[in-house]
Amino acid sequence: MITFQISHSTSYDYSSGVTFCHNIATIKPMNMLGQTLLEYTLEISPIPSEISEKLDFFGNTVTRFSIQKHHEKLVVIAKSKVHRDYTLQPNIEESKSGKSITLNEAILALKSNDTDILEARQFILESILIAKISPDIKAYAEISFKPNRPIFEAAFELMQRIYTDFDFDTEVTNVATPIHEVMKEKKGVCQDFAQIAIACVRSVGLPARYVSGYIETLPPPGKEKLVGTDASHAWFSVYIPTFGWVDFDPTNNQIPKNQHIIVSYGRDYYDVPPLKGVIYSTGKNKMQVAVDIRPAV
């Protein structure tokens, strides 16, 4: 178990200023089994004229705020203190039925009208950024997912293959890059790898969701950790009937544990970006993001 102090700062500099903006922030870590949100503050400058907080359709905390006066810079800083203890969560390794259920068995189980099954089935459907799954993505998925092979084993292998086959490159993609281009180039960032995995899982008829959050990164041996050098992170989760959701991180080739902090769930990145909005402006803007995660003192 470990407690983290997290700072997530986003700033926009507007070359011509902004007269009005309306934004949605999804940056408040979840309270859930194995993760406890101990403290949370959100600082916004300029001070919003309107602000509200609510749960969205997926159970994520979203903050809506509007600034209705001229400003040349927007700064949003979220500070959180989170306690993680993954040992409190169900362990797939200890679930004989969950670990062994095959693709064929899962497809049959997903026909049930059980409440949990109905909720999970929405994550099989197409979403904004994961639509019209291409034949090459389906073929890539079917290398791992065989009818009589356990889902957990197949998803674990898929995670490993993406880690091996794709290069991490921050210069190749952006949030609007279609997944078929990522598949072709075999390059991208954590959001891309999560969405490729989700497309693969959905292509064989299984529910998969996008997980947005943070991961603690450690400095090289003998070096001090620099403030603000961490980043938002993303991974994917597969629903296994008789067990539930199991997370996989293809960027780091591991099943998330204490070093992963969960902020939100969605169908893809489009549902849960840390910050999105609309502005009234005629000029360009420059965004800077700094994330810092470290054990709480």
Torsion sign, CA atoms 25, 276, 59, 239: negative
Q: Measuring CA to CA, which residue among 3, 79, 8 is closest to residue 39?
A: 79
pLDDT of 17 reads 87
pLDDT of 282 reads 77
pLDDT of 284 reads 83
pLDDT of 226 reads 54
3-state secondary structure of 253: coil
Q: Is the pTM of this model over 0.85?
A: yes
Cα-based distances in Å from 293 to 5, 32, 79, 214, 229: 6, 19, 10, 8, 9
Structure tokens, 205:
């008829």
Are the C-beta atoms of 70 and 21 separated by less than 8 Å?
no
Q: Measuring CA to CA, which residue among 181, 182, 206, 203 is closest to residue 194?
A: 182
pLDDT of 231 reads 80
Are the C-beta atoms of 171 and 118 separated by less than 8 Å?
no
- Phi first, then psi, for residue 217 (nearest 5°) are -110, 140
pLDDT of 30 reads 97
Q: Token pair 């490159």 is at which residue?
A: 169
pLDDT of 229 reads 59
Are the C-beta atoms of 190 and 234 separated by less than 8 Å?
yes
Q: Measuring CA to CA, which residue among 189, 76, 199 is closest to residue 135?
A: 199
Q: Which amino acid is at 291?
A: V
Distance CA 238, CA 236 (A): 7
| Length in residues, the chain | 297
Which burial class, exposed, middle or buried, applies to 10 when counting CB atoms under 10 A from its CB (0-12, 13-18, 19+)?
buried
pLDDT tens, N- to C-terminus, the chain (297 residues): 999 999 999 999 998 888 899 999 999 999 999 999 999 999 999 999 999 999 999 999 999 999 999 999 999 999 999 999 999 999 998 888 889 999 999 999 999 999 999 999 999 999 999 998 999 999 999 999 999 999 999 999 999 999 999 999 988 898 889 999 999 999 999 999 999 999 999 999 999 999 999 998 877 677 766 555 578 899 999 999 999 999 999 999 999 999 999 999 999 999 999 999 888 877 788 889 999 999 987
